[in-house]
Every structure is written in structure tokens, then in C-alpha cells.
Amino acid sequence: FAFGVALANVSRRGVELRAMMGDSERLVLPPLLLLAGALIDLRLSGHIWLLVGAALFARLASRGIGGALLTLRKEARGSGASLGLATTPAGAMSVCVGLLVYIRFPADIGGAVLTACVLSSFVGELIGTTALKRSLRKKGEISDDSQGSAAPLTPGAQLP
């Protein structure tokens, strides 16, 4: 880590090094996600599943409550609690953090954290997209008929 920081900031080829490392996410992330999936053991004890469920519920509930509180602001009025649920996607970084915890604590606790991170990412992707669309429709930002058509990328551009 420290060697990478030194090379990128002290070396006269630091810009080239950073550019070369920019594509490393595509190379490193898929094997890490595959490893995380292979390490998940669905035969966890009932108590551990309760812990995983409680963590997932707490995440969803906090996002829903946060969205409901956010609608108290004038700018967000009318979007509903789905505005908070739209922020639930956790992404691959959450799974990587769960994998690091599993490597450090490989017993039940590491397995529970890894499973919770993977489920949180999966459920977040399922709920987040739908909640975002619902929130944008409630606010009038997108219409019901815009499901299949893409919006123009630049203002004033015409779709074919």
C-alpha cells in the first residue's frame, strides 16, 4: 500500500501508473465477487440467520425512515418514502468489505457479515431501482410511458 502511494506520488511516471491502474477494478472485482459467493454457506445456524435478517431489516428501515424524513423538505415533498429506499443499492464494495471481515473472522461471525453484505447488495439492487423509478414518477420527473424509451442525453436533442 505505502509503496503504491510513494510510486504514484513521487515517481515522475506517477500519472502513467495511475492511468495503468485505472482499469484494474475490472480485473480484480469479478474474482473477488466469485470468491465471496463461493464462501457463503447457507447452512448457518438459526441465530445467525436472525442476525443477518435483523441487519437487512435495519438497513431497509433506516433508508425508509430517512426517505420519509427527507420528504419534510420542500424540494422532496411528494416523492414519498421510496426516495430513501432508492438509496439501498450497496454495490460490490459492500461485498468486498464482507469478504475482508470473513477472511479476518472466518467462523460464524465472518460468515454472517459476508452473507449480510451479499444479501444487502442483492436486495438493495432489487428494491433500489424500483423505488427510484417510483419516486421520480411521484415527483413528475419521469412519466409512466418512459419505461421503455431512453431520455435524450443532451438537452434539446431529439430521439430518432
pLDDT in tens, the chain (160 residues): 688 788 788 888 888 888 877 777 778 888 888 999 999 988 888 888 999 999 999 999 999 898 888 888 887 777 777 888 888 888 888 999 999 999 999 888 899 999 999 999 999 889 988 888 888 888 788 877 655 555 555 555 555 5
The answer to the question of residue 119 being in a domain is yes
The answer to the question of residue 60 being in a domain is yes
Which range marks the domain in which residue 62 is found?
Answer: 48-141
Predicted local distance difference test score (pLDDT) of residue 83: 81
The answer to the question of residue 148 being in a domain is no
Predicted local distance difference test score (pLDDT) of residue 115: 93
51 CA to centre of own chain: 20
Q: Are 111 and 93 in contact (CB under 8 A)?
A: no
The answer to the question of residue 106 being in a domain is yes
Predicted local distance difference test score (pLDDT) of residue 11: 84
The answer to the question of residue 156 being in a domain is no
Predicted local distance difference test score (pLDDT) of residue 61: 93
Within the chain, residue ranges assigned H as helices are: 2-10, 14-21, 24-39, 46-70, 82-85, 92-104, 108-139
Structural domains counted in the chain: 1
Predicted local distance difference test score (pLDDT) of residue 14: 83
The answer to the question of residue 34 being in a domain is no
The answer to the question of residue 41 being in a domain is no
Predicted local distance difference test score (pLDDT) of residue 105: 92
